[in-house]
Structure 1
């Protein structure tokens, strides 16, 4: 596998570096869901166009990473399905959906993976869990009442990618997630319990409840992937990150 990028996801994909020689994974670009301005989005789009041309010239499969977060599925009010309607909630969601369209219409062989919140050691400071850890340590956190998050360990994501590629899946959009919608308050509770200390909570009504469907992932892999994780899986994932960070 050819891996474009040097960040968190790219580093974890390195274990597949000697496998899937026909695949180019674009693991670079915008990785924060907040407002970053237009320049980073434009740079990612330009890199995607270059990568598409490279894949076309060399007859390679493009592996592109999109999002299965609330930025994509938070406005549906229904299980987030790859073939269902989506109403992106943020500029990040709109951007990823637009790039998905570019990939699908490019004519190159491709696989688009919509990833939920991928957690692991050495994550960038601007991503969800490091931000939350910093807030809890500061003693003040903003709680989005009614919001939820689907989190998955990067160590569980990489084998799923391997399984999809071994199965020859292409020209598809596929969710990769735990399948468990965890209320944001429970995630905060768990981090706070692990770190300890007083915590002031400021509640904000920002409803974004969603459920990521894994039906397609299961079908495409013959049941080898796409099984929902346990309801307490998120605790194990967070504990692994905290053990590495504390």
Structure 2
């Protein structure tokens, strides 16, 4: 079973959704047969490498809130994250352009450490206030998660994987994805948002059942006696 997750590394609900998906996958009977691939989605492709204001001020300006209202909104998100095991410190982090982070995630996929790098980017940005648009910071975080620092640095010095990022985003548009996280199972089932683990598990179970239908065997002597309505109740 193939599961693709479109997300951005500065999306708090994507980090929360990651934890909820992991909880669902841990309960899924066929979890060892699931391949997970993180796909690129930039919430703001025009963002600078680092914003000049913190996330609270940016949120307030974007939605016409007071700073107090923005702080309250972020506190609610932080509470939701805490319920999933994260320790968000949203007041420390400043948003920035994420295309380079996505490029390194494509590199990480080739080396089998994509999930670990994704986790490190989330923790660095949301918990430690790391500069997510800074190449040196990204290389350090990726190296923490097992990626070769020299190779990561070489990728960011050129344009490698930029087309792969754009291809992911083009596929997202083709699916009609306008927000993240967005989960796609076997390119047949789509789930929008950081759904509870029970919902994600239900989707996994259904996708598996649909892909592996159980055959109905009829003996050579034909169909035996069955009850298929209320007429044979005793």
Higher relative contact order (CA 8 A, sep 6+): 2
Greater strand content:
1
What is the TM-score normalised by the length of structure 2?
0.32
What is the TM-score normalised by the length of structure 1?
0.31
Greater helix content:
2
